[in-house]
Structure 1
Amino acid sequence: MVSSINPALKGITVLIPGLLLSFTFDVFTPLVFLVFMITFTLLFSGIPIKKWLLFFSPFILLALGFAWMTMLYTSDAFAGGEHLFSVWRFEVTTGSVMVGISLALRSLCFVSLSLLFILTTDSTKFMLSLMQQLKLPPKITFGILAGYRFLPTFRYEYQVLRQAHRVRGIGRAKGIRERIYQFRRYAIPLMANAIRKAERTANAMESKGFTGSADRTHYHQMKISRKDWMFFGVINGALIITLLASYQLGYLNIFGHRFV
């Protein structure tokens, strides 16, 4: 399962295709890679299909919006080809349609890569992996972890604060001025609690001997195994094969330059 892959290497693995695909402007390359990513995610990630569709579906509408706006505002360098139709003062050509579809498919590729990483990665293991494999300073790592652990408590404190205000007869804000004043009523107590929690956490870490030194032992050892490198090779190998196939078939287009 993808959830057992080293998080740091997994992040690098999904980052490389995202960067390389951003240079392609044809339809074939992102379409083929998107089909591969969807198939790979549904077969090997362990993510329930309903859960994946729940997160992925809204981005389809967003990608369609990207495609439509790109068709209307495509630069002259990419807007060549036959004239199809006009919308107000905007002329839509075959070139602008292809660029718009390409952008939409690339956006969905980025989404599929991001969901594969987000839905299969434990945040704590990810930070430990960054510290052990990519040498992120422990001060930053444990600071981020502590802040992440505080998020649920902030939400609970906010709900308690709202209920306390309602018990005292303070209703919902209606106008802009009341909303600003309400924001101040909520923000100041929450910030005060956050500062107190941060200070207590810092004192607790110092009392346990935390100095922020990179030369330290780890209870949870994050390692990179052969399975992790196989995951890296499969994802990026699929992208390389897609680029080669696109080049051989004459579809590959990088920044408007078509390789035939």
Structure 2
Amino acid sequence: MRLQEINPSVKAGAVVIAIILLAFAFDPVTPLLVLLGSSAAACRFGGVSVKKWLLCLSPFLLIAIGYVWSAMLFGRVPSGAHAQILWSFGPLQVTAAGVSRGISLGLRVMSFAALSLLFVLTTSPSHFMFSLMQQCRFSPKIAYGILAGYRFLPLLKEELAVIRTAHRIRRMGVTGGWADQVKQLGRYAIPLLASAIRKAERTAMAMESKGFTGSRQRTFYLRLSVTAKDWLFLAAVVAFVLVSFYISGRLGQLSWYSGEL
């Protein structure tokens, strides 16, 4: 079973449920298991290469490191036996509990990112919008508007490259201080905005001429359905998160989020 074959709405629901369940845990073992499981599922059943997966996770790793560092240094210092000081410099103190709390917070960030990337990298945007319209009764006006905007992004990128090249030919790309850079952004933004407005008008006229009214009672060239395979995937994701809770509890590491850092 490939993840690309799962109904996008069911897949999104499974990811949201997993993130909500995982938000109640605040220990290093549970999010670590979810992170490893999500990575294995994306590479094994989603066809995502290990290199691409690590590259997509790398920005979130930097964010997680920032959370770990801030929680270790500026988190609430516990009292009693858990306040074992590992390192101190002036008013800054790093305790064993702070390190554990920071690692737990960082792994939570990574596990949330892994679950989100699992959905993004294995789901077609067009199929997701079709699924939202057909299974979740999403408004066709909003869905097709999002799809049109998504299709415009590569075109805007190409136009930005053309504008930059034209500016270099006219020696307008050479900038000095921050004031010149702000003016240069304006020279980029205005043509791009005008081009986007023209594309939006042409798209609206084309859709109206084809009889698009935004009605839910319409036909689709692609019909998506929810099958037993989709429900099996949903049950497997929820079961995996619950098993991660169980393993963490058996190891004596499971703890629940109390709202304090």
TM-score, length-normalised on structure 1? 0.91
Give how far 1:169 is off: 2.7
Identity percentage over the alignment? 46
**Structural mapping, 1:248-259, within 5 Å:** 248-256=250-258
Structure 2 residue 184 is the aligned partner of structure 1 residue 182: yes
Following the alignment from structure 2 to structure 1, what is the Cα–Cα distance between the partners of residues 79 and 59? 28
Structure 2 residue 19 is the aligned partner of structure 1 residue 18: yes
Aligned AA (1:121): T
Give how far 1:114 is off: 1.6
Give how far 1:159 is off: 1.2
What is the aligned residue count?
Answer: 257
Out of 157, 171, 174, which is 1:172 matched to?
174
8 Å CA contact 1:6, 1:222 repeated in 2: yes
Q: Which residue of 1 aligns with 2:215?
A: 213
Gaps of 5+ in 2: none
Following the alignment from structure 1 to structure 2, what is the Cα–Cα distance between the partners of residues 176 and 145? 36
Give the 3 Å change call, closer, same or farther, for CA 87–134 of structure 1 in structure 2. Answer: farther
Q: Which residue of 2 aligns with 1:120?
A: 122
- SS of the counterpart of 1:25? coil
Give how far 1:229 is off: 1.3
Following the alignment from structure 1 to structure 2, what is the Cα–Cα distance between the partners of residues 112 and 86? 34
8 Å CA contact 1:78, 1:256 repeated in 2: no
User: Which range moves more in the overlay, 196-205 or 156-165?
Assistant: 156-165
- SS of the counterpart of 2:87? strand
Structure 2 residue 94 is the aligned partner of structure 1 residue 96: no
Give the 3 Å change call, closer, same or farther, for CA 125–85 of structure 1 in structure 2. Answer: same
Give the 3 Å change call, closer, same or farther, for CA 161–61 of structure 1 in structure 2. Answer: closer
Aligned AA (2:21): L
Aligned AA (1:49): V
Q: Which residue of 2 aligns with 1:86?
A: 88
> Hey, which bits of structure 1, 4+ residues long, moved more than 4 A?
76-80
Give how far 1:195 is off: 0.8
**Structural mapping, 1:45-124, within 5 Å:** 45-76=46-77, 80-124=82-126
Out of 201, 204, 226, which is 1:202 matched to?
204
**Residue deviations 1:95-122, cap 9 Å, x none?**
1111101011111111211221111111
**Residue deviations 1:62-93, cap 9 Å, x none?**
32232111111112469943222213312111
TM-score, length-normalised on structure 2? 0.91
Aligned AA (2:28): V
Give how far 1:176 is off: 1.7
User: Which range moves more in the overlay, 217-226 or 49-58?
Assistant: 49-58
**Residue deviations 1:163-194, cap 9 Å, x none?**
12222232322212211221222211111111
Aligned AA (1:237): A
**Residue deviations 1:6-53, cap 9 Å, x none?**
111111111112122222211221122222222222222211222212
- SS of the counterpart of 1:85? strand
User: Which range moves more in the overlay, 109-118 or 58-67?
Assistant: 58-67
Give the 3 Å change call, closer, same or farther, for CA 186–57 of structure 1 in structure 2. Answer: closer
Q: Which residue of 2 aligns with 1:156?
A: 158
Following the alignment from structure 1 to structure 2, what is the Cα–Cα distance between the partners of residues 254 and 40? 26
- SS of the counterpart of 2:107? helix
Out of 211, 215, 228, which is 2:230 matched to?
228
User: Which range moves more in the overlay, 237-246 or 117-126?
Assistant: 237-246
Following the alignment from structure 2 to structure 1, what is the Cα–Cα distance between the partners of residues 73 and 19? 25
Following the alignment from structure 2 to structure 1, what is the Cα–Cα distance between the partners of residues 251 and 138? 43
